[in-house]
């Protein structure tokens, strides 16, 4: 069994699902259990400066093996899995020498991952694919990244003859709920530049991401018995429906791709007296992002004029911004990663992230931090999978990036 696979299977056995709407970081204490395990492993590898802070962030150093003056390079991944789908009791299945057919995930339910739904499976014919049994997510987002960094660290720490500068490692909690960078110690981390290892299929390389905000909408109604409600009832649910229907119908993740932004209704609930809706707002263009936020506030104003002041309350909060402007002065990071991929016969795919990473926030805090692939697909759900050979190739890629960085 390959080292990276060994690490990955171990890490996905830990339930590290984060939780929305929590003030504390980490949002779930169970994330700290994996954090402590990673620290134990790093100490056993003879990494230096290993620590887990009060918020569950893991930091470590791979010391330099050369006197050459080389900027400190960082690698970052997150430990938590998405609240969107259970990450408890993951039962991984390894489909060896994949033959290109549909993959039966669960014999009891008949759940099948179909090539017609996921045609990129065909890229991995002949490889070994790790799937779930369809009852949980897999956790490749981002335990594949964690495993790849740990395998890289293990190699470098056991081969001091390989020349490289000082390398810093960081593992974060709560990335999936947008708080992975809240307490990241950028100054203490001490890297001049870094990469997050949190992308998708082999070859993905990203330095653009969405500008992101959340909109919490609360609608206040008036509940009256329906038998005597004429002229008196104000149904919060109907006002909420009206609110949603005033948003542009095709600015919806169902209809968008590439650089196109959206309003996404993530959850809703309530009754006649009160209703709530939670949106995420995304756009790569800063101008269009600001327009979307302004639009949702105009809808609030219109409905309050129609139904009375205070009927609708919108709480807008920025989450992160497009890191492109912070990476562009350091485009050598992209050039190094592309060259490293090409030398390993990996086709570079420079694409915009239709989401965000810890690196977006870290870039705005002074740590330029583009994102590279982990090899996984179909994150946050039961069809998540990752080819073993892709994870092995990403480990090679990280080592090649270290090599290229050392040669600069």
Q: Is residue 195 classed as helix, strand or coil in its secondary structure? A: strand
Q: 198 and 222 share a domain? A: no
| Helix, strand, coil percent values for the chain (each to nearest 5) | 35, 25, 45
Q: Is residue 365 classed as helix, strand or coil in its secondary structure? A: coil
> In total, how many domains does the chain have?
2
Tell whether 78 is in a known binding site. Answer: yes
Q: Count Cβ atoms below 10 Å from residue 18 Cβ, excluding itself.
A: 26
Q: 175 and 221 share a domain? A: no
At residue 1, the pLDDT reads 57
Q: 176 and 67 share a domain? A: yes
Q: 249 and 376 share a domain? A: no
pLDDT tens by residue, the chain, 408 residues: 599 999 999 999 999 999 988 989 999 999 999 999 999 999 999 999 999 999 999 999 999 999 999 999 999 999 999 999 999 999 999 999 999 999 999 999 999 999 999 999 999 999 999 999 999 999 999 999 999 999 999 999 999 999 999 999 999 999 999 888 999 999 999 999 999 999 999 999 999 999 999 999 999 999 998 999 999 999 999 999 999 999 999 999 999 999 999 999 999 999 999 999 999 999 999 999 999 999 999 999 999 999 999 999 999 999 889 999 999 999 999 999 999 999 999 999 998 888 888 899 999 999 999 999 999 999 999 999 999 999 999 999 999 999 999 998
At residue 322, the pLDDT reads 94
At residue 36, the pLDDT reads 98
Please say whether the beta carbons of 340 and 302 come within 8 A.
Answer: no
Q: Could you give the CA distance from residue 217 to residue 266 in angstroms, rounded to a whole number?
A: 11
User: What CATH number does residue 199 fall under?
Assistant: 3.40.630.10
Q: 196 and 342 share a domain? A: yes
User: What CATH number does residue 285 fall under?
Assistant: 3.30.70.360
Q: 216 and 191 share a domain? A: no
Q: 22 and 141 share a domain? A: yes
pTM of the entire predicted model: 0.90
Domain edge (last residue) among 319, 349, 368: 319
Q: 224 and 331 share a domain? A: no
At residue 353, the pLDDT reads 87
Q: Residue 353 has what DSSP assignment?
A: B
At residue 162, the pLDDT reads 97
Return the CA Rg of the chain.
23
Q: 177 and 219 share a domain? A: no
Q: In whole angstroms, how far apart are CA 119 and each of 63, 114, 116, 151?
A: 43, 8, 6, 30
The catalytic residue among 41, 154, 174, 175 is: 175
The catalytic residue among 15, 80, 174, 206 is: 80
Tell whether 99 is in a known binding site. Answer: no
Domain edge (last residue) among 280, 296, 319: 319
Q: Which residues pair with 317 in a beta bridge?
A: 214
Domain edge (last residue) among 289, 319, 349: 319
Domain span including residue 241? 212-319
Tell whether 198 is in a known binding site. Answer: yes
Establish whether 3 is a catalytic residue.
no
At residue 28, the pLDDT reads 97
Q: 173 and 293 share a domain? A: no
At residue 178, the pLDDT reads 85
Q: 171 and 261 share a domain? A: no
> What is the number of H-type helices and E-type strands within the chain?
10, 17
Establish whether 175 is a catalytic residue.
yes
């Amino acid at each position: 069994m390959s080292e990276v696979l060994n690490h990955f299977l171990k890490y996905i056995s830990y339930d590290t699902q984060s939780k929305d709407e929590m003030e504390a970081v980490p949002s779930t204490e169970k994330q700290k259990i994996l954090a402590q395990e990673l620290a134990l492993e790093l100490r056993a590898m003879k990494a230096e400066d290993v620590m887990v802070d009060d918020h569950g962030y893991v930091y470590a150093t791979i010391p330099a093996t050369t006197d050459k003056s080389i900027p400190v390079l960082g690698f970052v991944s997150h430990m938590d899995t998405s609240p969107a789908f259970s990450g408890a009791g993951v039962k991984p299945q390894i489909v060896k020498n994949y033959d290109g057919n549909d993959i039966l995930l669960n014999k009891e339910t008949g759940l099948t991952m179909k090539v017609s739904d996921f045609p990129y499976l065909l890229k991995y014919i002949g490889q070994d694919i790790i799937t779930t049994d369809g009852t949980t997510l897999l956790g490749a987002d981002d335990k594949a990244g964690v495993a790849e960094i740990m395998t890289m660290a293990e190699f470098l720490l056991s081969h001091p003859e390989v020349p490289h500068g000082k390398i810093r490692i960081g593992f974060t909690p709560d990335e999936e709920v947008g708080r992975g960078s809240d307490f990241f110690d950028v100054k203490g981390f001490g890297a001049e530049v870094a990469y997050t290892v949190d992308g998708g299929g082999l070859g993905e390389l990203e330095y653009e991401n969405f500008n992101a905000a959340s909109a919490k909408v609360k609608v206040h109604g008036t509940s009256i018995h329906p038998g005597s409600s004429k002229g008196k009832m104000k149904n919060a649910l109907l006002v909420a429906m009206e609110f949603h229907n005033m948003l542009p119908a095709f600015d919806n993740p169902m209809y968008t791709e590439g650089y196109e932004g959206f309003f996404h209704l993530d959850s809703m609930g309530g009754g006649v007296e009160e209703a709530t809706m939670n949106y995420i707002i995304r756009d790569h263009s800063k101008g269009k992002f600001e327009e979307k936020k302004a639009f949702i506030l105009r809808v609030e104003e219109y409905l309050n004029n129609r139904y009375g002041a205070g009927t609708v309350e919108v709480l807008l909060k920025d989450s992160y911004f497009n890191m492109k402007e912070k990476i562009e002065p350091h485009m050598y990071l992209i050039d190094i990663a592309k060259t490293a991929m090409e030398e390993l016969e990996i086709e570079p795919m420079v694409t915009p992230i239709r989401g965000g990473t810890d690196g977006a926030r870290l870039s705005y805090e002074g740590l330029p931090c583009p994102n590279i692939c982990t090899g996984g697909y179909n994150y946050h759900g039961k069809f998540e999978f990752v080819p073993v050979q892709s994870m092995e190739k990403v480990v090679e890629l990280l080592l090649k990036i270290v090599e290229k960085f050392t040669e600069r």
